[in-house]
Structure 1
Amino acid sequence: MKTRASFLLLCGAAAPVLVFAPTAFAADAAPPAMVTPAVDAVPATAAEDQSGDIVVTAQQRRQRLIDAPVPVTVLSGETLKAFRIQGLGELSLYTPGLLVQEQSVQRSGFNLRGITQDDSSPVSEPTISIFVDGIDNSRQGGAISELLDVNTVQVIRGPQGTLFGRGSVIGVIAVESNRPTKDWSAEVSADVSTLNGYNVTAIGNAPIVDDTVMFRTAWRFKRRDGDAVNVAIPKGRLNGIDTISGRSTLRVKPVEAVTSDLIFTYQEDHPPATEFKSIVVAPAGGDTDPFTPAAQDRPDQGISRKVWGLTWDNQIDLSEHLKLRSFTGYRQVRSIEHWDGDGTGYAYIIGDQNTLQKQYSEELRATWTPDPSFTVIAGGNWFHEKVNDTIALGINEQYLLGSFPSVANRTKSIVANPAFTSLNYGAVTRDNDRTSWSGYVNASKTFFNRLTFDVGLRYTYDDATTSASAAHRTAGGIAGVAFAQGIFGDSGGNVSRNTATFGFWTPRGAVSYKITPNLNIYAGVAKGTRSGVVDASFSTKVVQPNATWNIVKPEEVMNYEAGIKAKVGRINADLTLYKYNYTNLQVRDTTTINGQLNNAGKADGKGVEVSVRGPVLPGLNVIGSYAYNDSGYTYYVTSAGANLSGNQFRLSPHHKVSLAAKYEHAVTDSILGHVRVTEFYQSKTFMNADNLPYESQGGYALTNFGIGLADDTRGWSAEIYVNNLFDKNYLLDLGNTGKSFGLPTAIRGEPRIAGIRLQQSF
């Protein structure tokens, strides 16, 4: 393992040297004219042209990757297919600085440059924005979606609040789907895999009225048995997949200057429960190893989620120099989750969450380019969100006040004391009603065809109203003792309401200098702001009709970065150095059972990001990345008085490196054979802010492999693939609900999965 890890780190560190070396040798040649290729010459659906110019929209306009003064990783739809990337969780393997912890479709963690977004509270604001076709998908319960029929995925690192708005505190994941074209086409693919897995995808495109009305639709049906055995329930499995996902787009183009797309998206998920394996109490005949069978005895555990939305995307070219674009969106997420919080075969801790999210949004953007050296982008955004959420926990006080093992006393006997209630069930309901308005402007000006200044500013005003109530009940008519009014308190049927407003500016500035047309250096500074929160709590000892309000101030980050981007032939490479400082960092305090949100104090981080991609040899394409991150709390004291200052952030490895390669070679005149390999390594990761050694994951490496044939003339392809080739055991998380009761639980990562994929295009 050490040998593999050292090799990967060496590859990541050497990548910029290998790429930039040809640039140094080329310096003796006469410098080419300082002309940037016009991005309008690249088809709107292309992420890369024949010369290897990668096109991004990281600054809300089309630019070559090496010209954009921000660190961005872009993966085209063809790359997603080539490496079988079907979900956001797999982006970690190809993006420096990004770690996606996909526990389930309901609960996910996105970590970028050390900062994690994984808060399921209905009142919390995101730190990493996820936009799909211009619509915000950032809130945790609806963030995970299939990457189905996608044109590009862009991961833009660093604060992007000026151009992307709410939640873009430390970065953005922007997904753009394929849009209808004027040609007839269809595609069907099918996978079968171990664990009784199947995955069927169908895509169709049709012109309806010549070049004026076009339609495209794509649907995926995906299912797989759980990869973890649950011995507490007959034939029980955990960590499975059961998903239906689809998108249909109607494009209307009444005149050449107007394009209007109406997009309907839908995803429904009914997977079995997430594994929460106790590392304290072993199942009957088993052990506490996170990778052996679990015992979760709750019969109704599992997840049910439905997500759907409508997007209306309009593009109008008013003139050669002035373009308008608007995004109108509605999105709804309804999810229910039941889980076994203790992760044992005993009826001790249960959890439930029922959430309904509705959001409405409108953005209008104007892009003015009076000449190729000058661009101004200005716009405004309105966003309205209503989230109704009830979260509940049930505690068996017969064990809590009787005798039950804990991480501090693993050998303690299990004794249920009948003097106490077998279920003290408490629930808190919170309604988040938030309206946000913002306006922004960004200008870019190039001097002498070499020196470019980018400056921008956004003002955001949030009006946040929270309504809250709490209730509890016990079993057998026995009153609760540990929590007399339930774990979240009791408001006696009363609903409290409170409102707060938050206004803030998010500026950015960058300067770049072209040494040659294909070698660019840049530096930038940007401010990111995570909006404030109105949260509520109730006493667990007495009935409290009126909530105790917790107004959490906005958190702020100042980010400084500098980088170099180069293109040699069709190879693109970049190197970024960054440093950031947080104030009023918002942290969910896990030392409190209800996880109160607080301004924790201060934090900072610094790091290096390297990426390289392109054909390094005839037929051999690579995507390589390396990220070093050193981030953590400079000052953080919990409500219980624990001083976590100096601790490393949760889910934040110091080192992360990946190398993906695909080699193609002609087998016959029309058939190409290919081999693809993806190697990924990350160093030790702590699962929680307290940095406990037993709640960590050591460094590990994963290998994905595929081999196949493709005939472009006849439109078919076939591949045999294996993910996690060497069946490496690793953890996604450790702690969870049980941590608050001394019973941390573990969630294992995906084991080896092998399958066959067939595809036919028409």
Structure 2
Amino acid sequence: MYFKFLLTFLTLFSITTVNSQNTGVLKGVIITEQGQPIMGANVHIKSLSIGTTSNEKGEFILKKIANNSYTVEVSYLGYNTVSKKVVVNNSETIQNFILKESSYMLEGVVITSQKREQKNKDVPIAITSYGTEFIENQGTFEYDALSEYVPGFQVQIQSVNNPGIVIRGITSDSGDSRVEPRVSIFQDGVSISKSRGSVVELYDIERIEVLKGPQGTLFGRGAQIGAMHIIQNKAKNETSGAVKVGYGNYNQILTTGYFNAPVVEDKLFFRAAAIYNKRDGFIKNLSGGDLNGKETAAFRTSFKYLINDDTTLDLIANWQKDTPPGTSFKSGTYAPLGGDTNPNTFADLERGEELGLDRTVWGVTGILKHELNDIWDVTSTTAYRKFNSDEAFDADGTVAPALFFHEISKGKQFSQEVRFNFDTDDKFRGFFGANFFYEDGSQEVPWELDERSFAMLILNPAAFVLNGIPTLLPNIPNDPAAFGAIAGAPLSSYNKERNTNFGKNYSGDIFADASYDVTDKLSFTVGLRATWEDINAAYQVEDAATPSNLGYLTGNYPNILFATTNGEKIEASESFLSAVGRFAVNYDINNNITLFGTAARGRRPNVISVTATETNILSDETVLSYEIGAKSLFLNNRLQFDMNAYMYAYSNFQTTITKFENGKLVSTPEDSGNASSFGFEAAAQYAFTKSSSFFANYGYIDASFDDKDSNGNEQVLAGNTFRLTPKHSFSIGFNINPKINENLEFFFRPTYTHKSKVFFEETNLPNISQDGYGILNYRVGLTINKTYELGFYMNNALNKQYIIDAGNTGGAFGIPTFIAGAPRFFGAQLKVKFYI
């Protein structure tokens, strides 16, 4: 149905194609001041949304251009951008360009976070932006690696199915289909925020922007405390490509690249990009296989269709398949046979090679843009997305057959947004529009066990595993005084039960955001988004395959863990109306320094918590944010320095705590009351030569639960620090590129990142934490004729041992598990790129 919709969508707009009879050709040569041709320079006519690149002789040509006057922009890295007015007529128009060598333009200077192209310095939001060059220079393909370079941003990835994404202390990681994330992840303007489908490989990326603070006006209902926007490279009017291959330790194999070409001259363009990234696990599993590895294959194809002079259509399709081995949830209580409880050494998790993930994510996005006139344009974004994942994991972290789980998550979504943008080129600019969003998902958790082993865990945990060997209890102890009528009852060697939660939501938004220049130096921005939500939640428990005698002990008979719903689906629904907004002010002290301040309200939607015994509607979680900062750009865009300070006040802060109590495993969202945070961030970039640069950033966060809730009651978590939130973090790095001769360049790119102690749970238990540590990475190599690149990399060069998570499901049973961080990775990579 959705493919038919998109095909119809494309066909209808194809009919509107206009073939002008009065067209001409624009051609020319692009050279340096010294008369040398420039290959790969970008030639762009913005009003027509067309462009090309110069060939090896510096020549360019644009055909079938309607007779008119245009502004032609020519740009090339390391040279000043040149714009000229050119009149195209029926004959051949020749316009040559001479580019003057300039100071290096830092990446991240230009952003589109406010849905229009602006300099970062002029946007009243704390933003970190990295472009293609930085991402490729660091060899970054995953969120967690990127987050090390963004102050106030932390990402923990147990597996691509289970990420923890943190902005300024607020974590978004729940896999419950009924719970909305606090941090929004967007891909080309489309939300991909649901936890189990949100991790995508970062390849052939144009830019990534991380926005901090409530961004509901710009990015919708899930951006309570911030958003990350991934902007992928689209098809262009050029023939170009690149291929990178690599090999590293732990049998790491990398192949990635792209190809871009016109299909119909100056009308229809095509781009395809792909990646395959595989690495064996670095934790050996005695029961078979390895753990904490990677295997991802992803493919993207996109088309750009120039429908007429004012209308363009981008169609992008993404597909990703993840099949890594299992995650090493290693017990910190019971050592494997011949080993120890160190998370960084070998483990012995039951089921061996059965552990692992099988996840597929795919989606299609259509972006239609039409320029109404010089002031107004309209953008329609239509998208459909689907994910399906099955992750098998051993929650007790031992060879004992007690807590073997699957998590089977499914989700699909459809979204449609229409946005009108305006810019008077005078004092007033902004956008308004509407959005519809539909999602339908589920999270199924089957549990398989040997009842004889699980009985030992709950009745005699000291003997659960002895010397690496699980202890099995064949019968409930024959003690009528303690166990009544079931004393001595037999326990089976295999049983299975499962629970499933369901979430189906509809939402509609209307939004508006505008900026007004009061004077040449002072401007105000106001934004508002109103949202209607229809939230539907459900819960279902299937009875155990065989009624269990242990169920009499836990009170869940015929089940053991999951209180039965007698196989029925318990459903609840509710509708909500809400609004969020922002007010911001910008003040230009001079051409180099801008001050900004913001006040905003963020919101996380209400949660309908359905269990076998009760249904609760949790209040929507809200935050009031206040921030001030300064942004600067000096030395002809060679030096960028930003700093900001913020305060947040949260109400109805929700946490999900998993615990085993009264014989039941309970994992439901809870309202933990009030919380607050304040912090400071600073970031700097400096290009000390045209090809060499330096960056550094620092973040300080003090985020904790308040002593009392809004009713004056003492809070259980009072004073506790938010999970996954280091108080101090910083990173520093260099990109050093000395030229050996005209054809050969050397590069050296070291980075160092550090974060202070983090707790992995809101309970702040000292053993469920990681002390502060630092990681050193570097890349070194040669570039030949700007076409070939041969490099060597080493990540975690000092082989620092650390953990990325602790507690987990095992912690609910009093036997926490621990996940090791990555050891030293190293390897070599070869890259080849071309332009035609």
Q: TM-score, normalised by structure 2?
A: 0.82
Give the whole-Å Cα distance in 1 for the aligned partners of 2:705 and 2:777. 35
| Change beyond 3 A, Cα 1:642–1:371 | closer
Match of 1:355 in 2: 409
**1:302–1:339 CA contact under 8 A, matched in 2:** yes
Equivalent position to 1:284, from 327, 337, 346: 337
Q: How does 1:52-71 map to 2 (within 5 A)?
A: 52=105, 54-71=109-126
Distance 1:413 1:270, change over 3 A: closer
Residue of structure 2 in register with 1:328 after alignment: 382
CA deviation digits over 1:142-198, x for unaligned, max 9? 111101100000000000001110210110100111111111111110010000110
Secondary structure at 2:396's aligned position in 1?
coil
What is the identity, as a one-letter code, of the residue corresponding to 1:450? K
Residue deviations 1:707-739, cap 9 Å, x none?
Answer: 1111244x1101001000000011110011100
CA–CA distance in structure 2, aligned partners of residues 600 and 379 of structure 1 = 35
Aligned pair partner of 1:568 in 634, 638, 641 = 634
Deviations 1:351-386 (A, max 9, x none): 111121000001111111223321031011100000
SS in 2 for 1:737: helix
Corresponding residue number in structure 2 for 1:658: 731
Deviations 1:63-94 (A, max 9, x none): 10100010000000111111111111111221
Which deviates further from its counterpart, 697-706 or 476-485? 476-485
1:111 maps to 2:185: no
Provide the rounded CA distance (Å) in 2 between the counterparts of 1:703 and 1:42: 41
Give yes or no for contact 1:607–1:630 (8 Å, CA) kept in 2: yes
Q: Which of structures 1 and 2 has the larger relative contact order (alpha carbons within 8 angstroms, sep 6+)?
A: 1
Query: What is the one-letter code of the residue matched to 1:197?
Result: Q
* Cα distance in structure 2, aligned partners of 1:493 and 1:726: 53
8 A Cα contact 1:280 1:410, kept in partner: no
- Equivalent in the alignment of 1:559: 625
Determine helix, strand or coil for the equivalent of 1:589: strand
**Of the candidates 681, 697, 703, which is equivalent to residue 631 of structure 1?**
703
Is the contact between residue 161 and residue 458 of structure 1 (CA under 8 Å) also seen in structure 2?
Answer: yes
* Distance in structure 1 (CA, Å) of the matches to 2:391 and 2:467: 32
8 Å CA contact 1:633, 1:649 repeated in 2:
yes
Query: Relative to structure 1, is the Cα distance of residues 296 and 223 closer, same or farther in structure 2, using a 3 angstrom cutoff?
Result: same
Match of 1:520 in 2: 594
Give the Cα separation in 2 of the matches to 1:518 and 1:406.
68
**Which amino acid counterpart does residue 232 of structure 2 have in structure 1?**
S
Matched, 1:586 2:654: yes
The separation in 1 between residues aligned to 2:220 and 2:179, in whole angstroms, is: 16
Aligned AA for 1:574?
D
Q: Distance in 1 between matches of 2:807 and 2:565?
A: 29
Partners of 1:170 and 1:70 lie apart in 2 by 12
Cα deviation, residue 125, structure 1: 0.4
SS at match of 2:133: helix
- 1:594, distance to aligned residue in structure 2 (A): 2.4
Residue of structure 2 equivalent to 1:251: 304
Residue by residue, what CA displacement relative to the aligned partner does 1:325-367 show, whole Å, maximum 9, x if unpaired? 1110000000001110100111121111112100000111111
> Is the aligned partner of 1:492 residue 2:558?
no
Residue 13 of structure 2 aligns with which residue?
none
| Residue 296 (structure 1) aligned to one of 341, 345, 349 | 349
Write the deviation string for residues 593-634 of structure 1: whole angstroms up to 9, x where unpaired.
321111110000000010011303564311211000000111
Q: In the TM superposition, what are the counterparts of 1:639-718 in structure 2 within 5 Å?
A: 643-713=716-786, 715-718=787-790
CA distance in 2, matches of 1:106, 1:123: 17
Q: Does 1:452 align with 2:523?
A: yes
SS at match of 1:664: coil
Q: Compared with structure 1, are the counterparts of its residues 373 and 171 closer, same or farther at alpha carbon in structure 2 (3 Å cutoff)?
A: same
- Distance in 2 (CA, whole Å) between partners of 1:43 and 1:169 is 39
- For 1:324 and 1:45, how far apart are their aligned partners in 2? 29
Q: Is the contact between residue 157 and residue 172 of structure 1 (CA under 8 Å) also seen in structure 2?
A: yes
- Pairing of 1:56-455 with structure 2 (within 5 A): 56-233=111-288, 236-299=289-352, 300-394=354-448, 396=451, 397-405=454-462, 415-420=471-476, 421=491, 422-423=493-494, 425-455=496-526
State the distance in 2 between where 1:678 and 1:325 align: 39
**Uncovered stretches (5+) of structure 2, i.e. residues with no partner:** 1-46, 48-70, 82-101, 477-490
Residue 703 of structure 1, CA deviation: 0.6
Distance 1:122 1:665 in 2: 51
Q: What is the rounded CA distance, in whole Å, between the counterparts of 2:182 and 2:120 in structure 1?
A: 24
Q: 1:287 to 1:239 in 2, by over 3 A?
A: same
User: Would you say the 8 A contact 2:336–2:468 is kept in 1?
Assistant: no
Q: Is the 8 A contact 1:607 1:627 kept in 2?
A: yes
Q: Which amino acid aligns with 1:486?
A: I
- Residue in 2 that maps onto 1:732: 804
Deviates most, 423-432 or 207-216: 423-432
* d(CA) in 1 for partners of 2:534, 2:358: 31
Shift of 1:589: 2.2
Alpha-carbon distance, 1:636 to partner: 7.6
| 1:44 to 1:631, Cα distance in 2 relative to 1, 3 A | farther
Tell me, in whole angstroms, the C-alpha distance in 1 between the residues paired with 2:469 and 2:821. 31
Distance 2:148 2:76 in 1: 24
Deviations 1:219-278 (A, max 9, x none): 111111001111122xx2001111101110011002221110110000001100011110
Letter in 2 for 1:283: P
- Which residue is 1:15 aligned to? none
Question: Which among 802, 813, 828 is matched to residue 741 of structure 1?
Answer: 813
The gaps in structure 1 that reach 5 residues or longer are 1-37, 540-547
In the alignment, what sits opposite 2:53?
none
Tell me which residue corresponds to 1:470: 541
Residue 831 of structure 2 corresponds to 759
Structure 2 letter corresponding to 1:557: V
The separation in 2 between residues aligned to 1:472 and 1:616, in whole angstroms, is: 67
Instruction: Provide TM-score, normalisation by structure 1.
Output: 0.90
- Write the letter of the residue equivalent to 2:814: G
Q: Would you say the 8 A contact 2:330–2:398 is kept in 1? A: yes
What amino acid is the match of 1:201?
T
In structure 2, what is the Cα distance between the partners aligned to 1:152 and 1:500?
A: 38
Contact 1:359-1:384 at 8 Å conserved across structures:
yes
Once the two structures are superposed, what CA deviation does each residue of 1:412-469 show, in whole Å capped at 9, x if it has no partner?
Answer: 9964321143455332122211001011111101122100100111001110111221
Residue of structure 1 in register with 2:693 after alignment: 621
Segment of structure 1 superposing worse, 462-471 or 191-200: 462-471
Percent pairwise identity: 31
Task: Give distance in 2, aligned partners of 1:42 and 1:567.
Answer: 23
Choose the corresponding residue for 2:532, options 445, 461, 467. 461
3-state SS, counterpart of residue 424 of structure 2: strand
1:106 CA drift (Å): 0.4
Distance 1:249 1:149 in 2: 12
Cα offset for 1:42? 7.7
User: 1-side partners of 2:801 and 2:732: how far apart?
Assistant: 20
In the TM superposition, residue 488 of structure 1 has moved relative to its aligned partner by 2.0
Q: Cα distance 1:479–1:402, how it changes in 2: closer, same or farther (>3 A)?
A: closer
Shift in alpha-carbon separation, 1:340–1:42, aligned structure 2, 3 A = farther
1:535 aligns with 2:609: yes
1:503 equivalent in alignment to 2:577 = yes
Give the paired residue count: 710
Question: Residues of 2 paired with 1:166 and 1:62: CA distance?
Answer: 23
- State the match for 1:26 in structure 2: none
Q: Which residue of 2 aligns with 1:27?
A: none
**Per the alignment, do residues 447 and 705 of structure 1 end up closer, same or farther by CA in structure 2, a change over 3 Å counting?**
same
Q: Is the 8 A contact 2:180 2:605 kept in 1?
A: yes
